[in-house]
Amino acid sequence: MPNVIDLTKALIRCPSVTPLDEGAQELLVDALSALGFECHHLPFGEGEERILNIFARLGTKSPHICYAGHTDVVPSGSLDAWIHDPFDPQIVDGKLYGRGASDMKGSVAAFVAGISDYLKKHGEPEGSISMLITGDEEAIAKNGTVKVLEWMKEQGHVPDVCLVGEPSNPKILGEEIKVGRRGSLVCQLKVQGKQGHVAYPDRARNPLPSLIKLLDALAGYEFDKGTEFFSATNLEITTIDVGNVADNVIPDSGVAQFGIRFNDMWNQTTLVVKIKEILDSVGAPYDLTCRCSGESFLTEPGAWTDTVRQAVEDITGRTPELTTTGGTSDARFVVKYCPVVEFGLINETIHQINENADVEALEKLTEVFTRILELYFIQI
């Protein structure tokens, strides 16, 4: 059984930019099969949208703990900007460099290593350990975790609790456990006008003054002040486009896009109603389309959060804060089936040039995962 560093390196060497896998999941299947897991290959989608996923389980009884993660990574960016090839992992000054080192091949490797250490110390548990690994987390996530969970339900594999290995810590291992995430809504706002010559404005209808007023009303609105576990809902204007290449033409339309990260005071429906209410107060005609990539969710503090928190404290000496900050994750799908928390590596360099993971943190994370298994199964 390879150690956490060797397995992380092997996974990084697979250039698995979504939707490609390039052998990453087969590496995991080999490692998990050697530990006694029953592994299921679960591809979903067709053609360029085909995604490889795996579900592996050791044991058949409850309690059942599942680790959810992903082997796909974002593109590397400019190769010249990396100190090493992003898919040729190298250790420099105690840091393991490579695309996916922190997000999240290092965490996936740490859980496999953590299982191995647990089995060496305690043998197979009375319950079950499983891993849900997708290749579709960094993209639109329609042929990954969401479909594997549906398959798991059909096949009787719904876990009692789930741990998602996303990099949850800002600076130091042990700072934060994610117990939820804000919802995410992306909207497009369009104002239609009439094209014309700038010298003859009476023959045209400029859409931009109205668009500016509408955006100003949205940007200046305070949706809420936050809740116990969530920060205040915030709206960010991300682009304003006209497509006008001439300086003497009034454009025929203007389009803006904005994103909202919202807390548990809102859902997609109530938030869209509020947005339209704000826009209607301006009195200018508009067209609005919105897409929600995930509702806000929260795993209430309880036995499962206490177990993970205790394990982190036992190994790192730090008492982690329970937070809901950051972007969306596949935990938004898992929460519909069982309590879920997120704990993994440090997120300081994720999606960046020269992404890296601290070697000591990888080894400590392995110990945390082993300790989570010990505390979870000792409760039987």
Q: Region of 84 please: left (phi>0), alpha (psi -120 to 50) or beta.
A: beta
Sign of the alpha-carbon torsion through 311, 148, 98, 351: negative
Residue 101 burial (CB count, 10 A): 31
Give pairs for 23-30: CB < 8 Å, separation 24+: 24/71, 24/105, 24/135, 25/52, 25/53, 25/54, 25/71, 25/133, 25/135, 28/54, 28/56, 28/71, 28/108, 28/112, 28/131, 28/133, 29/54, 29/56
Strands 356-358 and 249-250: unpaired
72 is annotated as an active-site residue: yes
Catalytic residue, candidates 21, 72, 264, 330: 72
Write the Ramachandran bin of 44: left for phi over 0, alpha for psi from -120 to 50, otherwise beta: beta
Could you identify the residue written with the tokens 């199964």?
Answer: 377
The letter for the amino acid at 361 is A
d(CA 162, CA 40): 18
80 included as an active-site residue: no
Instruction: Kindly name the residue from 137, 330, 367, 374 that is annotated as catalytic.
Output: 137
Contact 104, 331 (CB under 8 A): no
Q: How many CB atoms lie within 10 A of CB 334?
A: 26
Sign, Cα dihedral of 75, 76, 80, 85? negative
Q: Which residues are catalytic?
A: 72, 137
